[in-house]
Structures are given as structure tokens and as C-alpha cells.
Structure 1
């Protein structure tokens, strides 16, 4: 018999846009929470318009981040619209927002104000830099926060810096936001007390980059940019086979190096050579180390390279294009793909990363803008005449 999802019965009201907070609340929805997404009347979450990649109508970001939610579109600048939102918020277990700096406070919907009014509520303010300090009023977008955190300075090749290829600061912040909400709800179960929480993208991505922070703290420098390689390990690099494929080979310790040298490179002597025997020496002689591996790998077909690595017990990975990921045999074998309905038709997406073995996750459609507004207002007790009044005001 299927169990009950852990957040079933919880209501989350989220004044959200872009990536960070939508990423957090999508996970809450999948584990059973009712997530009501508050959107700007008319245009909605601006991530809806990032592109038209999904069937020529919906953005890839919006499709990824907003399944299993309800869309409530309202103009909070209209008094009756703000009043409707306040009535909705009053019954929520969790209220979260990642609006522009100061916007939620002006509406009385910041975490401190809400928890003072509703002591059992878990309220979350997610921002780029936080409510205090010299950056408090700055707008923050993922790439800018990646740069401020130092991540850009350690990503890329020796010649060229690069940001991470996905919204790393947003996803880090969203991950911590979901975690913080879950911990706060558990605390509430034990103490009866809600919580006002403030999370920032800068804090989250700087923590994720903690190795580089520690290295700089103790040596005065960050790691060198090493492309797809590793600044502190060798060989740990992509090598091209005779077929033209790129295979990333990662050797974590000297025992693995000995196995690679004997089983793949045909050079068991390298395990004893003082210039290559230890990782420190291999890093010091990285150019020569990589050249030795590249020469052997470059002379062999991909199948022979991967078979040799498998036999020697060496970690490796194909450098896949995104089209290869869509057909990845491991994702297919583990049934990682699902089909979700949306306003533009069915879309293929990945299953939640964590699922309870006896309880399927909540996997419902991506909502159209304002699709659930009148349904939710009716649940709140609005009569047909009152709904008509809200429409006449331009609030919904």
C-alpha cells in the first residue's frame, strides 16, 4: 500500500520568479506540499519568457522548475488584489519570496513581518546578498553572484575564465532554501514555533566553493583554472581516442596510477619512476604525465580504451553532448524519464532525485499563468460577485 507523502497537508505560498526559489518549491511540491505560485498578473514569472524552446511556446527554465504547482496571478498594487493575497497567506504553513530587494517588506510580506503576525509560520526571504551590508540593495542574478563569489575566477581554462554552465548560484540557494524549510517544519513539529529565515545566493555558492575558499585562506591563492582537468590531481583530464571521442580519465591516488600505468599504458615502470610515482610529482610534471597518457589513448579506439580502464578499475567518463545525455543508457536503465503535462502539451522531464520506495512523488502539470486563481479564491470564500469585483478592479 502506498504511504503518505511527508509534506501532504502543507501549504506553501511562494512569491517567486526565475530559478532559485522555484527550484526549492518544486521539490516541496513533489514531496506532497500544495505549492501556490504567486505570479504577476498579465506577464507572470519572467522565466516564462526566457525562450520558447518547449514546443515553440514555453521556456525550458519554466518547464523544468514549475511542475506540480498552482498558479495564482494577481496585481498586488490593486488594494483588493493585495487583500486577496493576504487572505491566502494567512492560511499557509510556509511563505517564501525572492522578489527584488525591499519589495516584500513594502508589501508586509517579508519573513520578519509575517512571523510576527503568524508565529507558527515558516517564512523565507531568499535574496542575492541579504538584508544588511553594503550589497543589501543590489539586484542579483546568477552569473553576477558566481563572479562575486570567486567561482568564475577558478572556472575555465588558464587563458579564459568562465561561469559554470548552469545556474550554479541559483541552484545552490534553492537547495539550501528547500533544506531550511524542511528543517524549520520539523522544528515546528517539536516546538510549535515557526521561523523567519534569510538565505542568500552569495552565501550558498561560496559554501559550495569551499575548497577554493580554504585553499586561499591557507595559501593566499585560489586553485588554478584547469579546464576539464583537476588543479590538484594528475592525470585527471579529457583525452582523445583514435575515434575522436573524448574520455575523461580520473586517477585519485597512487595505487590507481600504478594500475593505469601497468594495465592501460603498458608502462608499469611509471609506478616506480620518482618523477611520476606520487600525485605531487605527477602534478609538478603534469604536461609530461598527460602527454604519456594522451599518446597511448590517442592510438586506441574508444572501445579498447574503455575496456582497458574497466579492467584496471580506473574511473572514467565520456564527455557527452546534451543530446547524448537524453539517450544516456544509465538514465534509461534506471527509468529516470517521465512525461509531464503542460500548457503546451506533454514534456519529457527527469524524475525527482530522491523518491520514497512505497510512495510515488507528486508529479503534476506545469501550470498556465493564473490557471488556478479563481479556484483558490473560491476556496478562500470569495463569492461569484466578489470574484467579479476583483476582475473589475483589474486585480485578477
Structure 2
């Protein structure tokens, strides 16, 4: 394992709160960037979402480890001057305040671009900055609804903050690209992302279906709108999830798992397009056979036939799953907590990450550091 991390030497300053921007900067910190988290005197409100992780908030612990915390009241001239001194040395500036807020404080993209041409700025908004929705509140649940995700997911909120999370991931990717861009041409650039734009990107398939066929998919639970069979099927115990991707797999499912030559040769089930047209008949026929097996018997048959399958786990079962990986982080009070490992296993990651910052823990040190740099 190499000691060097790819973003070592990169200074990131982030006026961030909640999820999208903190997730982005946490990934930059994991790759070695120095991340200075600028918080209001009362702190990032995500610190108070809950207290489930040994007294700390789940969201905060997940996406704020490895950062330094400085408390600044940007309504005060002295603190604005402090932020400006830090930005003069920074490589990346991230913010997810309401549209126009940083500009009113004197840190708008155009002004920063003139003062610091190598600085990369990244602004995260709810609906973008150039339309009539620019000033709308854009919490994750609202964007799930506005983007159509709720409509194809049972008219409910997804169980995670998917709009925030995807936007944070997109911002991370865009910043890494911008750093490479600057390496080639010596210039920084302005990046702009929105939660709504991130959602319409991952909603591309149903949106394209609507745009070009006049009809998008309806909510169909665990099923897939374009693939059959794909979903949960009954056993004598709990359901088993089965996914068939091609005709070879369909034949193996019919003959090796279900032992049904009738299904394998049925003319209405001969292709995925036909099976989709006869979805109810296909699923009923399969279910009539699978419910004769126990859950484990069916899983064994499916695995032996190399058919994609799984079960719907509880959260407690996920924590015991053979594929689940975690790393340790230190909480502000010194306690240690396990958090899910980053999805990309890279040479520069370890099984322990830097700790989560106490509110304002680094304020005095950072102020002194950058005051000295300016005076020097």
C-alpha cells in the first residue's frame, strides 16, 4: 500500500451543510485533500439530525470525517476577511448555500474567478441557478417528488437521501475532472450542479421512455419495467429475488431450476419482449413452482444453475452480510465508531479514517495560520 494519496497538497474550502456538499468533500478528504469545513457558529445543522452513533448524528459521522472545522460568522467583516485569506491559498471552493447567498457575502464565482484564476469553484443548488425555481427550497424529499422518482417508486420517499447523495458524488467527480483540467491549462473553472439535474440524469431511462413512447413506467414494486422475470417470487418461507437477463438464463431457469419443459418451450415466453407482454402469466407460472420449495432450496438451485438471485435483507442482516465492509473513525469525544467503507477499494485507503471534527475545533489554529501567511 502506498503512503501517498492522489490529492495530497490540495486545499479544499467548503461552506457546507446537510449532505450533498459534505459528501463531496468527504470523498476529496479520503483521497488526501485538506478540507476546511466552514460552519456557522451554531454548526452544520446535520450535526443535530439524530444521536444514534454514540451520541453523534449518523449523517454527520458518515460524511465529515477527515475534515477541519472552523466557525465563521460571515456577516462579520473580520470573518469574511479570514475566509478570503484562506481562499487565496485554496485550490477548490465548494458551497451549497441558497442561490445567491455567497455572492451577497462577497464570494460569488465571478468575483472569485477574477481574484483567484486558479481556484475551482463548485456551487450546489436545488434546481439550478438560471430558472424560475432557483429560489425554491430543495430538500431531498421535494426533489425526489419533483423529478418524478416518487411517481415511479410508489408515490413515496426513497428510504435514503438519494438526491443529495447522487449530487455529492457528481460534485466529487466534477472537481477531480476540474483539477485535471487545471493541470493541463493552468486555469480554474466554475462548476455548477443541482439536485434536480442529478435526479433527471439517473431518471434518464424512464424519461426517455416517456419522451419517445408517450408513456413512462408505472410503479411495479420489485419488478423491472423492461425485463421479465425480474423480481421477488414466493417460496414456502420468505421470497427470493430472481433476475433473468438473457435467453440462455431463461432456459436454465426453466429446465435446471424449475424443471419445466412446458415453460421452456412456451411460445408466448420465447423472448424477453414476449415475456414482458405476458408478464402476469410468466410470473404466475413461475410462482406456482417456486412456492413448492423452501427459500434455501430455491436459492441452492438458482446458484447451482448460475442464475442471479438474492433475498431482501433487513438492515441488521446487511451488517452481517459477507460482502459488507466497514472502517473505523474517531468521534469528536474520542469514541470509535464503525462506518461503511468507501465503495472503491484503492491503494491509498486504510481500515481506519481520520476522525470527525468537533464544532470549531480548528478555528483558532486556522485563523492564525492564514493570518501569518498573508503577513509574510
TM range (shorter): over 0.9
Q: 1:87-117 deviations in whole A, cap 9, x for unaligned?
A: 1122110001000122111112232221121
Describe how 1:12-51 pairs up with structure 2 within 5 A: 12-41=12-41, 43-51=42-50
| CA RMSD, 1 decimal | 1.7
Instruction: State the partner residue of 2:77.
Output: 79
* Residue 159 of structure 2 is aligned to residue 165 of structure 1: yes
Instruction: State the partner residue of 2:53.
Output: 54
Query: In structure 1, which of residues 286, 296, 299 is the aligned counterpart of residue 289 of structure 2?
Result: 296
Describe how 1:190-269 pairs up with structure 2 within 5 A: 190-242=184-236, 244-269=237-262
SS in 2 for 1:228: coil
Q: 1:286-310 deviations in whole A, cap 9, x for unaligned?
A: 2221122222222212221111001
Instruction: Structure 1: state its 5+ residue gaps.
Output: 384-396
Distance in 2 between the 1:356 and 1:163 partners?
A: 33
The Cα shift of 1:22 comes to 0.7
* Residue 327 of structure 2 is aligned to residue 338 of structure 1: yes
Query: In structure 1, which of residues 105, 109, 112 is the aligned counterpart of residue 110 of structure 2?
Result: 112
* Residue 281 of structure 2 is aligned to residue 282 of structure 1: no
Contact 2:329 2:338 in 1 (8 A): yes
The Cα shift of 1:267 comes to 0.4
Q: 1:212-261 deviations in whole A, cap 9, x for unaligned?
A: 1111111011112111111111111112322x322110111222111101
Q: 1:337-396 deviations in whole A, cap 9, x for unaligned?
A: 11110124211112222233366488200111111111111211369xxxxxxxxxxxxx
Contact 2:5 2:348 in 1 (8 A): no
Contact 1:20 1:173 in 2 (8 A): yes
Query: In structure 2, which of residues 338, 344, 358 is the aligned counterpart of residue 348 of structure 1?
Result: 338
Describe how 1:86-97 pairs up with structure 2 within 5 A: 86-97=84-95
Describe how 1:375-386 pairs up with structure 2 within 5 A: 375-381=365-371
Contact 2:327 2:353 in 1 (8 A): no
Describe how 1:310-329 pairs up with structure 2 within 5 A: 310-329=303-322
Instruction: Structure 2: state its 5+ residue gaps.
Output: none
Contact 1:101 1:139 in 2 (8 A): no
Distance in 1 between the 2:176 and 2:92 partners?
A: 10
Number of residue pairs aligned between Structure 1 and Structure 2: 372
Distance in 1 between the 2:337 and 2:47 partners?
A: 15
Distance in 2 between the 1:380 and 1:369 partners?
A: 19
The Cα shift of 1:44 comes to 0.7
Structure 2 vs 1, CA of residues 167 and 19 (structure 1 numbering), >3 Å: closer, same or farther? same
- Output the TM-score relative to the length of structure 2: 0.95
- Output the TM-score relative to the length of structure 1: 0.90
Contact 2:326 2:351 in 1 (8 A): no
The Cα shift of 1:123 comes to 0.6
SS in 2 for 1:119: coil
Distance in 1 between the 2:110 and 2:153 partners?
A: 37
Distance in 2 between the 1:317 and 1:229 partners?
A: 14
